[in-house]
Structure formats: structure tokens, C-alpha cells
Amino acid sequence: MIEKVLILGLALVGSLARYSSGQLQNQNKMAQAPEKGIVFGASYQAQKRKWDGPLHRRLLFPWLCTSTAAENQEQYQELLTTQRKNGVKYVGYYYSSTTSYSSSSLPTYRQFPELAIPPVFIKPSWILRDDKGQPVRWPGEMERYYLDVGRVEVQNAILNRAIRNAKRLGPDMLFLDNWYYKYWSPTDMRKEQWTEKCLSFLLRARELTHQSGLKLIVNTASPPKHWIEFAPHLDGVAYEMGAHPYRLRKQDRYEEELSSYEKVMAMGKSIFLYTDILKDKGGRWDLDGRKVAATAMLVMPKSQPDWGGIYVSPPRYEVWPVGGWPMWPEQLGKPLGPRQWQHNTVSRKFERGSISVTVGENPVFKVAFEY
């Protein structure tokens, strides 16, 4: 039994060679197993052969894709066909005009398919205004404004347009970006008031997507502790702040995040964690995504279902070992039980290894592969 311990941030060249050469335990069994993995939040670009190669074909395949960039509808339909031939189970139609719009003619309005409602269709009465009657701008952007998403007229205009596009093009779900809940509010508006407007929008989105046979996912900045309150009204939650340094400093904060994920999955909802989190304008705090991937492994169900599990978006155009996920579930095997805390370290054992996270000012992540 050879044990190799990876401290996240180190390359696993030796392990990759071992795996590629066919010496991994149970490799034949794994080769015949159903594909595992997920790619989402990035456009599929066939010319870059993003998921090509023997390792990709076996393990790193797209389970879900939320955005496909194309020049026209014909090309879009071809890309959808290609994705589904590659094993995609769900394709989502991404729409960013959930709470805001831009008054300028940005590329997001010109590319296909439409990712946001064009400015020409925005009525002045739809714009959120402050106490002085001035339009509320997105922080740091002069030409991006918030929409009054509590207005039924605004809800119907945005949602009906996005759903109509999705049904015409063929995706299986609607992915709404920039949705808020008990986290933040624009200008001097109370958080409670903004949350009420956003929740009203979500309830209308749930009603309309249900009528159209589409799944509904929202990307939110709301901390996981609040998800249980709105999760019943959608099918999945996307999040860009998983394993955030703030929560990794203390055991109770990190455990709150982990247990919150479990509660949402117990409701049959899916969780999608992004890895490319901006730390500031100068860089990213989780450069290769393995902190987020380790967090997901600590709570993933014993057998990931087609819907209702937790998934991680690997870094764009990066193959393991840099990205970590989604090859870890195949390498480590099924969890042998729930995670366990010992002092400030939480760990979980798998069929062929273990994962541990030690919280603190300088958290430590370890993955042990046992071959």
C-alpha cells in the first residue's frame, strides 16, 4: 500500500503518470463505471477540444453546461448537439438580467444567444430609483443600473423573454445570475426591502419555469446559512464564494457552510460551486480550485445522483491535477461515512483515500490517495 499525500498547491505529476499508465487500483472497474464530472459556467468551444484526450473522455466530461457562445442560432444548435453527444445531461440557458441591466451596447447583448435583455426594451419605470428619484447604479459602473424586480411588469418581461428564448433554443433549464437574499441592498434601501423584491422575483420565476417544464437555478451571493429559506422555490443554487477565507478561519464558520450544503441537498436540490473566485483586482484566492473541490468532497452524497448533489466548476481549460475536481470522486471512490471533526481539523474517509481540512488563519488542505 503506497500512500501519497497531496498538500493542495503541489502538482501530482507522479500520480498522474501512475494513473495514465494503468497502475491505479481498480482501474478496469473504473473504466467501465458511468462517467462522473461536471463542467458549467463556461462556454463549450469545440475548436479548442476542451474535453479531449483519454483522461477527459473517461472522467472529465460535461455533466451540465450553462453557457454556450455562438455566432448564430444554427451554430448554437450544432454546439448543443455536440455537447449532448459528449454526455451532457443538462444544458442551461444563462441570463444575467435578473436584477440589473446595462444602458450601453455591450458585447453581452450582441452575442448569440442573448444573455441579457437589450437596453432598447427597458422602460424608464422599470429602473430602481433612490429616495431622490435618481436611478440606482451598479457599484463602480456608470452605465449599469438596477431593475425594480419587485414590480410584476418587470418580472414578466424578463422571465417570459428568457423562458421563450430557452424553449425555442432547446436548453433544459434557466440559470439566473445576480440574485440576492439577505446579503446586500443597493443604495440606502434596507436589506429587508431588497430581499422582499428579489424573493418576489424568484417566486414568479419558479411559477413560470414550472409551467414551461424548465429547471431553475440562481447564482447568489447569499451565505449558505440562508439557502434553506429559499431553496424550496428552485432546483439548484450556484455560488461563487465556497470555502471563503473568512469561513476557513474558524471551525464554527466552516461547519456552518458544510452543514448548510447538506441541508439543501437533502431537499433534492443541486449545488454548483465556482472555483475562480476573485480575491481582489490583483488576483484570485483559490487559484486552482482545489480548496473548493475539497469542501465539496466533504459533503457530497455517497452516490452522486443526476440531480441533488454538489458539483464544482473546474478551472477553464485546466486538466487534473491542477483542477482536482472532478477526477477526485473517481480516484477516491465513495465516502465511507460522514465527515469527522477532531479539534480544528475536519476529515472524511473514502474507499481509496481521505481528505482533511485544518481551519485557521492559514488553513491546510490535504488529500491522501491510497493505492
DSSP string, 57-122: HHT---SEE-B--BSSHHHHHHHHHHHHHTT--EEEEEE-TTSEEESS--HHHHSBS--S--GGG-
Q: Which residues contact 354 (CB under 8 A, 6 or more apart)?
A: 332, 347, 348, 367, 368, 370
Cell matching residue 231:
431553496
Most confident region among 67-71, 133-137, 340-344 by mean pLDDT: 340-344
Residues with Cβ < 8 Å from 32, sequence gap 6 or more? none
Residues near 18 by beta carbon (within 8 Å), at least 6 away in sequence: 24, 371
Chain-centroid distance, C-alpha 189: 28
Q: How far apart are CA 154 and CA 341, in angstroms?
A: 47
Give mean pLDDT, residues 227-255: 95
Whole-number pLDDT of residue 29: 35
Range 134-160 average pLDDT: 92
Alpha helix positions (H), the chain: 13-20, 27-32, 54-58, 73-85, 107-110, 152-169, 191-212, 227-230, 251-266, 290-299, 327-332
pTM (predicted TM-score): 0.82
Could you tell me if 112 and 76 are in contact, meaning their C-beta atoms sit under 8 angstroms apart?
A: yes
Given this model, what pLDDT does residue 291 score? 85
Q: Cβ(371)–Cβ(64) under 8 Å?
A: no
Output the pLDDT for position 10.
25
Kindly give, in sequence order, each residue whose CB lies less than 8 Å from that of residue 13, ignoring residues fewer than 6 positions away. 321
pLDDT value at residue 267: 96
Burial of 7 (0-12, 13-18, 19+ CB in 10 A): exposed
Mean pLDDT over each residue of the chain, to the nearest integer: 78
User: DSSP code of 52?
Assistant: -
Distance CA 301, CA 268 (A): 11
- The reported pLDDT for the residue numbered 282 is 53
Q: For cell 469527522, what's the residue?
A: 340
Query: For residue 262, is pLDDT > 50?
Result: yes
Helices then strands, counting H and E runs in the chain, come out as: 11, 16
The H or E element that residue 280 is part of is strand 278-280
Q: Does domain 36-340 have CATH number 1.20.58?
A: no
- Phi-psi sector, 360: left (phi>0), alpha (psi -120 to 50), beta: left
What is the enclosing helix (H) or strand (E) of 354? strand 353-358
Neighbouring-strand partners of residue 92: 173
pLDDT digits (tens, 9 = 90+) for 158-177: 999 999 999 999 888 999 99
For 183, other C-beta atoms within 10 Å of its C-beta total 15
DSSP 56: H
pLDDT digits (tens, 9 = 90+) for 22-47: 333 333 333 333 343 444 444 444 44
- Among 79-83, 86-90, 348-352, name the one with the lowest average pLDDT: 86-90
Residues 167, 117: contact at Cβ < 8 Å?
no
Average pLDDT on 194-198 reads: 96
Check whether the bond before 335 is cis (ω within 30° of 0): no
Query: Are the CB atoms for 120 and 80 separated by under 8 Å?
Result: no
Domain ranges of the chain: 36-340
| pLDDT of 64 | 63
Eight-class DSSP state of 303: S
Whether the per-residue pLDDT at 283 is higher than 80: the answer is no
